[in-house]
C-alpha cells in the first residue's frame, strides 16, 4: 500500500486535522509516483503530435514535389502554401508539447484533433490530384494554393461581394423572421387567424421562393427589393410554421394558472405562449437561415450587380474556376459562422429553460 493509500484510508475516529495537515496530505498524494506519471502522460497531446506530423508532411510534399506543367503557367503561391503548412505543423507541435500549459487555445483545439489530422490528408490528396499529377485537369480543377492566389489578386472584388451578400441576407432574413414570427403567433393564438390564414400558409408556403423569381422582379421597384423579398419569403415559411406549432402546443394549464392569477390577454401571449414556443421558433430560424442562403445565390445571379451569387456567375462566365471555388469557400465559412452565432443567441435567450427543455 502506498503512502497515498495510507493517507486516504485514515481512521474516521481520529480528530479532525488542521488546515496545515490537510494541505500536507494533499501534497503527499500529488507527489506520489503514480500521480506524477499520470500528469506527464496527460501533459502531452498525442493527437496534436499526429496532426503536426500530418501538416509537416503536407508542407514537405507541396514544396519538394515539382508541379506538373499546366501549359499556360505554373501554379502561383506553391512555396507559400507549403510554408504555411509547415508553420501550422510547428504551432501544433508547440501546443502538443506544452499540454495544459498552453492555456485556452489548446483546450479549444483538443475536440477538433481528428479534424486537424483529416484536413492535411484531404489537402494533400487535393494537391496531388491537381498540381502534382494533373489527374483533375485545369482550368476546371485548381489546387489549394490557387485559393491563396485569388485572395491576393482579387480580394477587393470578393470582399465587396461578401459585404453586399451580408447586407442582402440581413435585410431579407430579419424581415422574413419578424413577419414569420408574428404570423405564427397570430395563427397559434387566434382561432379566426387559424381558420383563414393557416390554410393559405399550408397551400402557398411549400412553393419554392425561387419559383416566384419572375413575379418578384416584375412587381418589385428594384432588383435589390426583389432579392430582399425572395430571401425574406424563404425565411418566412419555416419560422411561421414552427412558431405556430410552438404556440399551439403550449400546455393549457399554464394559461389556466395565469388567468387564475388575473393575467390579461397580452400577458398570456407575451409572457406565457411566446416563451414556451421559443425552442421551436429557433428551429424555424435555423431552417430559414439555410433556405435563405440558397435563395440568396439565385437572387443575386438574376439582377443584383454585386454579391457572392453574382461573383459565382461572373467566375463561370470567364472560366475562372479558382475564383468560383474561393467564393464557395467564403459562402461555407459565412454560413457556418452565422449558424454558430445563432446558436449563441439561442443559448443566451433560452438559458432559463436549461434543465426543463431537451435541446
Beta bridge partners of 354: 357
- 321-349 helix and 274-302 helix, angle to the nearest 10 degrees: 170
- The DSSP line for 40-109 is HHHHS-HHHHHHHHHHHHHHHHHHHSPPPP-SS-PPTTHHHHHHHHHHHHHHHHHHHHHGGGGTHHHHHH
Q: Which residues of 200-235 are buried (b: 16+ CB within 10 A; e: fewer)?
A: ebeeeeeeebbebbeebbeebeebbebbbbbbbbbb
Q: How far is it, in rounded angstroms, from Cα 95 to Cα 52?
A: 10
The three-class DSSP label of residue 138 is coil
Ordered structural domains, the chain, with CATH: 43-141 (no CATH), 155-353 (1.10.3720.10)
Q: What is the pLDDT of residue 5?
A: 47
Q: What is the pLDDT of residue 251?
A: 83
Report pTM. 0.77
C-alpha cell, 305: 450587380
* Residue 151, burial from CB neighbour count under 10 angstroms (0-12, 13-18, 19+): middle
At residue 355's C-alpha, the angle toward residues 111 and 105, to 5°, is: 20
Q: How far is it, in rounded angstroms, from Cα 166 to Cα 297?
A: 12
Is the previous residue joined to 139 through a cis bond, with omega within 30 degrees of 0? yes
C-beta separation of 291 from 241 below 8 A:
no
Q: What is the pLDDT of residue 20?
A: 52
- 155-189 helix and 223-248 helix, angle to the nearest 10 degrees: 40
Phi and psi, residue 117, nearest 5°: -90, -40
Q: How far is it, in rounded angstroms, from Cα 301 to Cα 310?
A: 5
Question: Over the Cα atoms of the chain, what is R_g?
Answer: 29
Q: What is the pLDDT of residue 42?
A: 53
Q: What is the largest CA-CA distance in the chain?
A: 89
C-alpha cell, 45: 497531446
Cβ neighbors of 213 (< 8 A, separation 6 or more) are: 226, 230, 298, 299, 302
The three-class DSSP label of residue 37 is helix
Helix H or strand E segment including 261: none
C-beta separation of 81 from 58 below 8 A:
no
* Residue 49, burial from CB neighbour count under 10 angstroms (0-12, 13-18, 19+): middle
C-beta separation of 235 from 289 below 8 A:
yes
Digitized pLDDT (tens) for each residue of the chain, 359 residues in all: 444 444 444 444 444 445 455 445 445 444 444 433 333 345 788 899 999 999 999 999 999 999 887 654 578 899 999 999 999 999 999 988 887 777 777 788 888 889 999 999 999 999 999 999 888 888 788 899 999 999 998 899 999 999 999 999 999 999 999 999 999 999 988 888 888 887 888 877 777 877 787 788 777 888 888 889 999 999 999 999 999 988 988 888 888 888 888 888 888 888 888 888 899 999 999 999 988 988 888 888 776 778 888 898 888 888 888 999 999 999 999 999 999 999 999 999 888 776 555 55
Amino acid at each position: 500500500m502506498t503512502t497515498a493509500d495510507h493517507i486516504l484510508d485514515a481512521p474516521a475516529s481520529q480528530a479532525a486535522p488542521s488546515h496545515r495537515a490537510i494541505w500536507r496530505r494533499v501534497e503527499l498524494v500529488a507527489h506520489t509516483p503514480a500521480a506524477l506519471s499520470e500528469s506527464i502522460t496527460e501533459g502531452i497531446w498525442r493527437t496534436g503530435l499526429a496532426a503536426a506530423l500530418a501538416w509537416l508532411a503536407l508542407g514537405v510534399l507541396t514544396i519538394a514535389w515539382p508541379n506538373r506543367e499546366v501549359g499556360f503557367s505554373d501554379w502561383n503561391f506553391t512555396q507559400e502554401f507549403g510554408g504555411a503548412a509547415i508553420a501550422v505543423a510547428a504551432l501544433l507541435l508547440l501546443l502538443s508539447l506544452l499540454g495544459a500549459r498552453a492555456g485556452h487555445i489548446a483546450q479549444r483545439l483538443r475536440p477538433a484533433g481528428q479534424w486537424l489530422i483529416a484536413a492535411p490528408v484531404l489537402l494533400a490528396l487535393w494537391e496531388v490530384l491537381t498540381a502534382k499529377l494533373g489527374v483533375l485537369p485545369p482550368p476546371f480543377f485548381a489546387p489549394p494554393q490557387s485559393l491563396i492566389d485569388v485572395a491576393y489578386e482579387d480580394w477587393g472584388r470578393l470582399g465587396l461581394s461578401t459585404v453586399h451578400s451580408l447586407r442582402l441576407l440581413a435585410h431579407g432574413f430579419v424581415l422574413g423572421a419578424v413577419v414569420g414570427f408574428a404570423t405564427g403567433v397570430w395563427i397559434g393564438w387566434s382561432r379566426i387567424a387559424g381558420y383563414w390564414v393557416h390554410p393559405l400558409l399550408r397551400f402557398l408556403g411549400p412553393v419554392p421562393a425561387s419559383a416566384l423569381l419572375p413575379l418578384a422582379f416584375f412587381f418589385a421597384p428594384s432588383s435589390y427589393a426583389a432579392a430582399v423579398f425572395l430571401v425574406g419569403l424563404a425565411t418566412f415559411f419555416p419560422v411561421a410554421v414552427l412558431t405556430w406549432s410552438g404556440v399551439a402546443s403550449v400546455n393549457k394549464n399554464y394559461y389556466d394558472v395565469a388567468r387564475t392569477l388575473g393575467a390579461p390577454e397580452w400577458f398570456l401571449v407575451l409572457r406565457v405562449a411566446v416563451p414556451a414556443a421559443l425552442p421551436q421558433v429557433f428551429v424555424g430560424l435555423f431552417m430559414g437561415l439555410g433556405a435563405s442562403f440558397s435563395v440568396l445565390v439565385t437572387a443575386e445571379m438574376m439582377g443584383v450587380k454585386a454579391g457572392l451569387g453574382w461573383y459565382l456567375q461572373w467566375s463561370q462566365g470567364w472560366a475562372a474556376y479558382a475564383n468560383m471555388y474561393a467564393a464557395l469557400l467564403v459562402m461555407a465559412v459565412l454560413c457556418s459562422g452565422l449558424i454558430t452565432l445563432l446558436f449563441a443567441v439561442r443559448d443566451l435567450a433560452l438559458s432559463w429553460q436549461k434543465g426543463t427543455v431537451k435541446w
